[in-house]
Chains A and B, each alone.
Chain A
Amino acid sequence: MATVTFIEHNGIEHSVEAEVGKSLMQIALDNLVPGIDADCGGECSCATCHIMVKAEWLEKVGSPSDAEDSMLDLNPEREANSRLACQIEVGEIHDGLTVDLPEFQF
């Protein structure tokens, strides 16, 4: 298990126990974290599980694939640390991971 924290746009924090091997999107849905729509169900095809990874975690989380990159590009509010939660598989090394949620999903 790993603990991950989602911070809503209004500052409300949700720290949840994450099952290793699941995607960050699924973990958010399993724990009823608001603000992740996941319209395509985790296929990297809608960009409605947009999150921003805290700077200190960027290295451990890694960078987006080309497919993820083109989906992120659809969002005019993309940031340098933007990722799609469905494309991040949570492992033991992510214990303590913290991500910000955008005000809106595109």
Chain B
Amino acid sequence: MSEATVLQMIDYEAKNVALEDIDVSQRELWVQDRKWDYFARLRDEAPVHFCKDSEFGPYWSVTRFADIMEVEANWQSFSSDPAITIIDPEEDFPLPMFIAMDPPKHDEQRMTVQGSVAPKNLKNMESTIRGRVQKVLDGLPVGKQFNWVEKVSIELTTQMLATLFDFPFEDRSKLTRWSDVATGGPETGIVESEEQRQEELLECLAYFTNLWEERAKKGLSNDLISMLAHGDATQDMSPQEYLGNLILLIVGGNDTTRNSMTGGVLALNQNPGEYAKLRNDPTVIPSMVSEIIRWQTPLAHMRRKATKDYVLGGKTINAGDKVVMWYISGNRDERAIDKPNEFIIDRDRARQHLSFGFGIHRCMGNRLAEMQIKILWEEIQKRFHMVEVIGDPVLVPSNFVHGFTDLQVVVHTH
């Protein structure tokens, strides 16, 4: 397939492209934030849609809330093996991780680590998180322009991740880098080549192997590496599988909450009435946190593979087909959510969104994510009248990580 023959969605209005030609995976739609009209059209006219050719090969798009729920709940018919994003794994560099496995292995490995972010543990982490948020916010240059992504969102999520891994704190920026490298190939500009990407990920593995050896020698403690090194289902993992699971935990704890932390600032700036609501009544924060997570949908999709022929929304998906559940579309489906294209911080049933996924692969760190964002906004409101966005955000060039590399802001005190 040559570049020239591919219809570029970005050159057209969604309504003028033949349904069968629509390809919502095209990167430019995401870079320029033009995907919304395409998804709206698919939801209305072809909610279970087959794209016969794309950069990622043929795939089905599932775009309505209820259809996504149906796929999520049925892991027997829709397998997560071998990958959970639209891009196929590199054949010479497989990264097995439990999110991309089915039961029973998935359950065993997940159970080994999920206790680390269970609500009971979170209670103990709350004061640590609040102290760090306060320190980061107090260090911001009041009245001067800066990148919120770098100074706040990345800083806070990386600190959190370092704590969960009991990772050397002074080296924590490595975690951010590995997270970016894991989700971004050469086409995103994050690395120059696939070789460089693999090299950096092997450095990640080497670093974490030292930590593993150190933790394996000691008794079981409450950090993720220790849990993996001592867990029955994980202690004999191959190096690639260790790396795969590390990437899962790094990306899961980093790329997601980071982008909700930034997305909330942008959404409140775009909706001044909602920002006023927040100023008048900070008790709305827990509900606002759910709304921010719905609005941002920091992971835009998850991918499954049909294990058998399956009729969904009147279309027959064949065994072996790639099926992409677009959470970002389901979260804007008016059939399931009232006024889905409005950002409403005190909306009813705010928790009923798709951003954490549903079923056995549902986000393990959802409560930690909510707590971090809640504390962030509680502390922002104590200090700042407004976090003002200056100029346009720069988006991550990805149809998976839905987020920002740059959001210039100025903070104003009360």
Give me the interface of A with B, judged by CB distance under 8 Å. 37-41, 43-48, 67, 70-71, 73-77, 103-106
Whether B103 contacts A70 by the Cβ 8 Å rule is yes
| Cα separation A90 to B358 with both chains bound (whole Å) | 25
Residues in B with CB closer than 8 Å to A46 are: 356, 358, 362
Confirm or deny: B82 has a beta carbon within 8 angstroms of a beta carbon on chain A: no
From DSSP, what is the main secondary structure of chain B's interface residues?
A: helix
Whether B73 contacts A45 by the Cβ 8 Å rule is yes
| Cα separation A41 to B111 with both chains bound (whole Å) | 24
Residues in A with CB closer than 8 Å to B367 are: 104, 106
Known A-B contacts A74-B110, A103-B119; the reply to A45 vs B351 at CB < 8 A is no
From DSSP, what is the main secondary structure of chain A's interface residues?
A: loop
| Cα separation A74 to B363 with both chains bound (whole Å) | 10
* B111, B118, B349, B359: residue with the most chain A Cβ atoms closer than 10 Å: B359
Residues in A with CB closer than 8 Å to B362 are: 45-47, 74
Q: Which of B89-106 contact A (CB under 8 A)?
A: 103
| Cα separation A50 to B107 with both chains bound (whole Å) | 18
Residues in A with CB closer than 8 Å to B356 are: 39, 46
Pick from A38, A43, A67, A77: contact of B118, CB under 8 Å: A77
Render B343-354 as a binary contact track against A, CB cut-off 8 A, 1 for contact. 000000101100
Known contacts A41-B352, A46-B358, A70-B103; 7 additional CB pairs below 8 A are A37-B351, A71-B360, A73-B111, A74-B110, A103-B120, A106-B119, A106-B367
Pick from A39, A47, A71, A104: contact of B351, CB under 8 Å: A39
Chain B interface residue count, CB cutoff 8 Å, equals 22
| Cα separation A9 to B72 with both chains bound (whole Å) | 31
Q: How far is the CB of B21 from chain A (nearest CB, A)?
A: 33
Pick from A38, A40, A47, A76: contact of B69, CB under 8 Å: A40
Whether A73 contacts B73 by the Cβ 8 Å rule is no
Residues in A with CB closer than 8 Å to B359 are: 45, 71
| Closest chain A residue, CB of each to CB of B364 | A74
12 pairs of residues in contact across A and B, judged by CB atoms under 8 Å: A39-B352, A43-B73, A45-B72, A45-B362, A46-B358, A70-B360, A71-B360, A74-B110, A74-B114, A75-B118, A76-B111, A77-B120
Q: How far is the CB of A47 from chain B (nearest CB, A)?
A: 8
| Closest chain A residue, CB of each to CB of B350 | A39
Q: Which 4 A-B pairs rank lowest in CB-CB distance, beginning with the nearest?
A: A104-B119, A45-B358, A76-B115, A39-B351
Residues in B with CB closer than 8 Å to A41 are: 349, 352
| Closest chain A residue, CB of each to CB of B115 | A76
Q: How far is the CB of B68 from chain A (nearest CB, A)?
A: 10
Q: How far is the CB of A76 from chain B (nearest CB, A)?
A: 4
| Cα separation A40 to B119 with both chains bound (whole Å) | 19
